């Protein structure tokens, strides 16, 4: 009996030692780590921002060419783009963790890197809770759970302190000029607008990124237009859609540009994006 108990205990200890850290990613895959990863490759700018915000920049060994924030990220080895990573270069970096996103990275990249035997954690944040979950998951994987929890709590506190306006202006976020694409209800961009105190015109669509036609925008008549292409301006808009001169946003000169890196990345900076739009609404 003692031998049996001793054997069971030994097996339990072995099991614990083989999987000291266990997390479930956004593909519902269970991933186990014996030790916290020390060599991480990030395959998306939002992931890179999250890693650095958690104080894990020293563990990042590879990033994409689009990973430009914080500035320190630009000093890291570039392993290609979001959709076209250099697999040979990634192999040479010998990472013990690769972090990918569903929206951005490709299934081909996932399968190729999985086939090479790398441990991959996949994120798919659709809203603020998903962004915070990603931060907490990475914190757990990298054994900085308390730091991650503190950061998430701090960001939630900042959101709670944003004052809601009395009036809720209708906002159209222009993600693409041709076609006229915006953010739908099931996106973190929609949540940014709502938490800032606005009404997202695209929020009536269940599609993540619905396409509108120019007449629909006229009917919706937004109070505020937000441009995510910093090369666009009022003149360019009216050149493409001269009838938009009748929109409230155009007549009252409420066309604003927001850095796409801030508003389009599911990273800790979504709180900053919310604050920026909140300030724009206060001027309404």
In whole angstroms, give the CA distance from residue 2 to residue 166: 72
Q: Give the DSSP H/E element, type plus range, for residue 275.
A: helix 270-282
What is the value of pTM for the model shown?
A: 0.90
Q: Assess if residue 104 is contained within a domain.
A: yes
The alpha helices in 19-144, defined as continuous H runs, are: 45-53, 87-93, 107-115, 128-141
- Residue 166: the pLDDT is 85
Pair 186, 227 in one domain: yes
Pair 27, 119 in one domain: yes
Pair 198, 225 in one domain: yes
> Coil, helix or strand for 247?
coil
- Residue 97: the pLDDT is 98
Q: Assess if residue 7 is contained within a domain.
A: no
Pair 144, 273 in one domain: no
Q: Is the peptide bond before 179 cis (omega within 30 degrees of 0)?
A: yes
Pair 202, 150 in one domain: no
CB 107 within 8 A of CB 101: no
Sorted by sequence, the CB contacts under 8 Å of residue 239 that are 6+ apart come out as none
Pair 50, 75 in one domain: yes
> Coil, helix or strand for 150?
helix
| Overall number of domains in the chain | 2
Q: Assess if residue 230 is contained within a domain.
A: yes
- End residue of a domain, out of 109, 133, 158: 158
Q: Assess if residue 181 is contained within a domain.
A: yes
Q: Assess if residue 1 is contained within a domain.
A: no
Pair 241, 136 in one domain: no
Pair 223, 259 in one domain: yes
- Write out the residue range of the structural domain in which residue 190 sits: 170-282
C-alpha angle 198-174-258 in degrees, rounded to nearest 5: 70
Pair 126, 184 in one domain: no
Pair 151, 217 in one domain: no
User: Which tokens hold the place of 196?
Assistant: 């800032």
Q: Assess if residue 110 is contained within a domain.
A: yes
- End residue of a domain, out of 93, 123, 158: 158
In whole angstroms, give the CA distance from residue 29 to residue 120: 10
Pair 147, 45 in one domain: yes
Residues of the chain with pLDDT under 50: 8, 11-18
In whole angstroms, give the CA distance from residue 47 to residue 76: 14
- Residue 20: the pLDDT is 82
Residue with tokens 């919310």: 274
Q: Assess if residue 134 is contained within a domain.
A: yes
The CATH number assigned to the domain holding 222 equals 3.40.50.1980
Beta bridge partners, 172, equal 225
- End residue of a domain, out of 112, 129, 158: 158
Q: Assess if residue 44 is contained within a domain.
A: yes
- Residue 2: the pLDDT is 53
């Amino acid at each position: 009996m003692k031998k049996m108990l001793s054997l069971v205990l030994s097996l339990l200890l072995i099991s614990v030692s083989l999987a000291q850290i266990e997390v479930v990613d956004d593909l519902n895959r269970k991933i186990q780590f014996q030790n916290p990863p020390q060599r991480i490759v990030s395959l998306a700018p939002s992931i890179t921002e999250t890693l650095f915000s958690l104080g894990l920049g020293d563990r990042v060994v590879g990033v994409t060419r689009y990973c430009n924030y914080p500035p320190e990220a630009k000093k890291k080895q570039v392993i290609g783009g979001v959709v076209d990573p250099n697999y040979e270069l990634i192999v040479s970096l010998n990472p013990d963790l690769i972090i990918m996103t569903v929206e951005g990275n490709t299934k081909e990249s996932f399968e190729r890197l999985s086939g090479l035997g790398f441990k991959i954690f996949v994120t798919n944040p659709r809203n603020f809770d998903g962004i915070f979950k990603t931060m907490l998951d990475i914190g757990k994987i990298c054994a900085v759970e308390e730091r991650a929890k503190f950061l998430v709590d701090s960001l939630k506190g900042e959101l709670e302190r944003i004052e809601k306006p009395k009036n809720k202006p209708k906002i159209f976020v222009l993600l693409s000029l041709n076609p006229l694409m915006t953010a739908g209800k099931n996106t973190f961009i929609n949540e940014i607008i709502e938490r800032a105190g606005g009404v997202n015109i695209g929020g009536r669509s269940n599609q993540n990124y619905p396409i509108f036609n120019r007449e629909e925008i006229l009917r919706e008549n937004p109070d505020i237009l937000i441009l995510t292409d910093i090369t666009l301006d009022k003149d360019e808009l009216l050149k493409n859609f001269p009838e938009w001169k009748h929109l409230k946003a155009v007549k009252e000169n409420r066309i604003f540009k927001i850095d796409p890196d801030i508003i389009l990345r599911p990273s800790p900076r979504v709180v900053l994006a919310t604050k920026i739009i909140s300030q724009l609404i206060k001027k309404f």
